[in-house]
Structure 1
Amino acid sequence: MEESTDRTLVEECIRGDRRAQELFYRKYAPVALAVCRRYAPGREEAMDLLNGGMMKVFEKLAQFRWEGSLEGWVKRLVFNATIDQFRKQRRRPTLEIADWDQPTEDSITHRLYADDLCRMIDLLPETSKEVFWLFAVEGYSHAEIAAKLHFSEGNSRWHLNKARQLLREKLNQASHNQNRYAG
């Protein structure tokens, strides 16, 4: 049912129906914004990235082949537009894990541990952090990461392993071996 509704919505968007385009934007902008906010230091920049990315989605909507999820395709196009924008500005994305992008937990203990992990990830070398994020969080394959970052799959694997090794070492340090939040 969902796919047939999406197909109708996409067909109407391709025909230039402004109402359908608005519905499409409202439906997919929240997940696309989550992608942008991971890479932008502030909400205003994230919104600029979102709007640029969604323009790219509308330009390429007729090329979607219905071989995967439409949401995943939208997120991928927005991500690519975001990376392209950073390349034009000759700077790297920040890859922040911000407070508003955290899962909701039942207790403060979980939140504190998540904060510790985020700080550890933030300490990784930039390229290793970027590869780790793309692989572990965004779900990209090594081939996709290599194509996006313009290096080999082997290099992608090396950076992921390096990031995992560094995170493992930090997690095994004495300060993280005990529950410091327990009474």
Structure 2
Amino acid sequence: MNPKHFEIVKKCLQGNRKAQMQLYDLYADGMYVVACRYISNREDAKDVMQEAFLKAFTRLSQYKSEFTFGAWLKRIVINQCMDTLKKRSLVYEEMSHQTLAIVDDDASWEISVNVTKQEILHTIERLPAKYKYVLQLYLIEGYDHQEISEILDIPVQTSRTQLMRGKAKLKDKLQDTYKHKISL
């Protein structure tokens, strides 16, 4: 962690409000971008981000300096987004054991046509929520299936299945849009 940031966190632990504002100013823009990936309404995303900061400040004593503060805070923001979405009745399909499939081939995420990262992200945004959030957490945030399971409160196997199905839907949408053979 940046030594300056560490000093600010220490001051926050002592209840220093000015230090809390400094920490907020350092991370607010980045955490807002993270919240916007999950909450489509910009004002709602801002509210969720601010609630996450409040949670972070009340749980600051739980922060372990072996992780960057930004990574710790990002997880809180994502969890707050998921909690908000759950309150809005976001329902995930539970999978029976017969319908489960496991994605083992991470190398198969290559795209053989010139599609920009923005175009892929835009296409992910248009997927059903149960696929979109697993894809975002896996591809963009870099979480593994165990972490996704905990964040979304779904079984690990459901995370794997939603990733596999989301990948197939993403591939179909990209192929429809770009009329090229795309291998994902």
Amino acid at match of 1:69: T
Contact kept, 8 Å, 1:124 with 1:166, in 2: the verdict is: yes
Amino acid at match of 1:149: L
Higher relative contact order (CA 8 A, sep 6+): 2
- Tell me how large the CA RMSD over aligned residues is: 2.5
Contact kept, 8 Å, 2:38 with 2:133, in 1: the verdict is: no
Taking the aligned partners of 1:174 and 1:49, their CA distance within structure 2 comes to 33
Contact kept, 8 Å, 2:82 with 2:152, in 1: the verdict is: no
Q: Which residue of 1 aligns with 2:174?
A: 171
Contact kept, 8 Å, 1:56 with 1:78, in 2: the verdict is: no
Taking the aligned partners of 1:116 and 1:68, their CA distance within structure 2 comes to 32
Query: How much does 1:80 deviate?
Result: 1.1
What are the ranges of 5 or more consecutive residues in structure 1 without an aligned counterpart?
Answer: 93-109, 179-183
TM-score by length of 1: 0.75
Taking the aligned partners of 1:33 and 1:131, their CA distance within structure 2 comes to 19
Amino acid at match of 1:129: K
In the alignment, does 2:139 pair up with 1:140? no
Query: How much does 1:138 deviate?
Result: 1.6
Contact kept, 8 Å, 1:132 with 1:163, in 2: the verdict is: yes
Taking the aligned partners of 2:12 and 2:48, their CA distance within structure 1 comes to 21
Structure 1 residues 41 and 171: alpha-carbon distance in aligned structure 2, compared to 1, 3 A threshold: closer
Q: Secondary structure in 1 aligned to 2:66? A: coil
Taking the aligned partners of 1:144 and 1:162, their CA distance within structure 2 comes to 19
Q: Secondary structure in 2 aligned to 1:67? A: coil
Contact kept, 8 Å, 2:49 with 2:77, in 1: the verdict is: yes
Amino acid at match of 1:45: D
Structure 1 residues 168 and 37: alpha-carbon distance in aligned structure 2, compared to 1, 3 A threshold: closer
Taking the aligned partners of 2:124 and 2:155, their CA distance within structure 1 comes to 23
Query: How much does 1:54 deviate?
Result: 0.5
Structure 1 residues 140 and 33: alpha-carbon distance in aligned structure 2, compared to 1, 3 A threshold: same
**Sequence identity of aligned pairs in percent?**
30
Contact kept, 8 Å, 1:28 with 1:71, in 2: the verdict is: yes
Deviation beyond 6 Å, 4+ runs, structure 1: none
Query: How much does 1:13 deviate?
Result: 0.5
- Among 127, 130, 134, the residue aligned to 2:130: 127
Q: Which residue of 2 aligns with 1:98?
A: none
Structure 1 residues 174 and 118: alpha-carbon distance in aligned structure 2, compared to 1, 3 A threshold: closer
Q: Which residue of 2 aligns with 1:162?
A: 165
Taking the aligned partners of 1:125 and 1:38, their CA distance within structure 2 comes to 14
Contact kept, 8 Å, 1:49 with 1:82, in 2: the verdict is: yes
In the alignment, does 2:150 pair up with 1:150? no
What are the ranges of 5 or more consecutive residues in structure 2 without an aligned counterpart?
Answer: 92-113
TM-score by length of 2: 0.74
For 1:41-80, what aligned pairs fall within 5 Å after superposition? 41-80=40-79
